[in-house]
Chains A and B, each alone.
Chain A
């Protein structure tokens, strides 16, 4: 069974369109993340949610809006797509406690290409 799944795996779209990427985890974790990996392979955190509450919001354009309907899901909606949004987007989840770090499990990634 897939632990962290993302849909779609590939997304090709025109500039200016609005698109969504979905993420689900069946690990029972309470924290979920979105990362962006650009063409130079640099992986950078965008958002994190803990129990549906936004915890980390890095300097991401407000065209990107995460939504967590429940703690097993974290979706990413992108408005007015730009060429520079082309990247691989990874979802991840972990079970964080107050004092320790627990492994983050990554989804397979969504390769977004904006034409």
Chain B
């Protein structure tokens, strides 16, 4: 079983749609959780951290369910510029021994 699993997509949605991505992780000792965004042929960039209490950043909402080892990302009112691959990321270590484990990513294509 992969350490971090995501549906690879692609998700093709029209502008303005709401889209949700899910992710599961296998290591219950995981310390912290993130969504990164990677544009085509570019480097990954942090989109947002994910907390058990849930957190929102504009049109983006992330949720963590530690009991189910499940992470989600909701994007409301999709824009063309949201087209990218969204990487679910889990930090197994802590501090200087931080070790990010990436899912294979979910590709989103927003169309007119």
B102 engages A43 (CB within 8 Å): yes
A41 engages B95 (CB within 8 Å): no
Closest beta carbon of chain B to A31's beta carbon, Å: 6
B43 engages A94 (CB within 8 Å): no
Given A106-B44, A108-B42, A108-B43, A42 and B102 contact (CB-CB distance below 8 Å): yes
- Provide the bound-state CA to CA distance between A23 and B32, in Å: 26
B43 engages A107 (CB within 8 Å): yes
Nearest neighbor of B8 in chain A, beta-carbon distance: A41
- Provide the bound-state CA to CA distance between A107 and B43, in Å: 6
Q: Is the interface of B mostly helix, strand, loop or mixed?
A: mixed
Q: How large is the interface on B (under 10, 10 to 19, 20 to 34, 35 or more residues)?
A: 20 to 34
A101 engages B102 (CB within 8 Å): no
B98 engages A40 (CB within 8 Å): no
Q: Is the interface of A mostly helix, strand, loop or mixed?
A: loop
Nearest neighbor of B102 in chain A, beta-carbon distance: A43
Given A101-B31, A101-B91, A55 and B44 contact (CB-CB distance below 8 Å): no
Which B residues lie within 8 Å of A42 (CB)? 102, 104
Cβ < 8 Å to B, chain A residues 56-100? 56, 90, 94, 96-100
A-to-B contact residues, CB < 8 Å: 31, 40-45, 48, 50, 55-56, 90, 94, 96-101, 103-104, 106-109
